[in-house]
Structure 1
Amino acid sequence: MADNTFLDTIKRSSIQDLISGVRGYANEFTLEVKPEHLHEVLKTLKQEFGFNYLADITGVDHYVDEGRFEVSYNIVALEHKQRLRVSTRIEESDPSVDSVVDIWGAANWFEREVYDMFGIIFNNHPDLRRMYMPEDFEYFPLRKEFPLLGIPGSIPLPEKDPPKEYN
């Protein structure tokens, strides 16, 4: 959790004009950033404020007309004992943001996972391919329009009952 003093310092820094909003709940804060400023903001937070640990990247499908997808970066400044979330909203018509693998190497698999589940493209990613689903799978399972029981016939599934030799 970021304390208010640390957050105020960030809001008065060189990236203050790139932050479009701040949300807070239970002393945890989220910086809202437009997609075109995301890479610069995250790079500055690492270099100038010591957010050297990328804990996770997550995706959310809000299933709305404007800003359908949200990508959130959970980062930690270990030395300062501060945690912060940086979030951006992107459109369904262009579901992409710049990769941050050049800032945190750990972003490599996090970005691949978000791509695999939501179809969000990370520009300049060194190896953006699916992690869990087959490479030729046409769907993204964590999108809201994905059927709860999956797409019949989209991938071969095991038989309902195991073969008798396993009983």
Structure 2
Amino acid sequence: MFRKTIPVILLATIFLSIFSCKKEVLPKPSSQLRLEYPVAEYAHFENACPFTFDINSEAIIKEKSNCNFTIDYPKMKATIYLSYKPVNNNINILLRDAQKLTYEHVIKADDILEQPFINKDNKVYGMFYQVNGNAATNAQFYVTDSVKHFLDCSVYFYAKPNFDSVMPAASYVKNDMQQLMESLRWK
């Protein structure tokens, strides 16, 4: 009887060892959302307003009134607001209001970087602001010729401000805003 049970026990052990073994379970590494946007291609924008600029061909531009525009990025849920104001001996007020608008975000911002812009050949002067942190806007700028024209611009995302989440889109739109500012010409 002992001889008959050895092959059964051996066979059961082999059977259990083959089918009961599983691969070692390893935790999966944490992943991050990968957002890829198309390489920006710019088109020249011109209408009856006293300025022209280059705009990303992926963006949708709409004139609101009196040379004020929205530039929508539907895939990124972002909008750039572009506001034109004529200068009538009020350049100091316009500059103060543009700077005040930027520094209202200092409560939520970690840092605000200022980058002066000077294009002497085309008489375009201004300031580009990069706002880091969980502020409502991540980038703003204003440009002027100091005599006739003043233009300010800011971007807003349709999401709760969380810099880490919107950083890829914010970087993409910030580059478009810099291109807009650098390509701006007064008529």
TM-score under structure 1 length normalisation: 0.29
The structure that has the greater radius of gyration is 2
- Of Structure 1 and Structure 2, the greater helix share is in 2
**Structure with more strand by fraction:** 2
TM (norm. structure 2) is 0.27
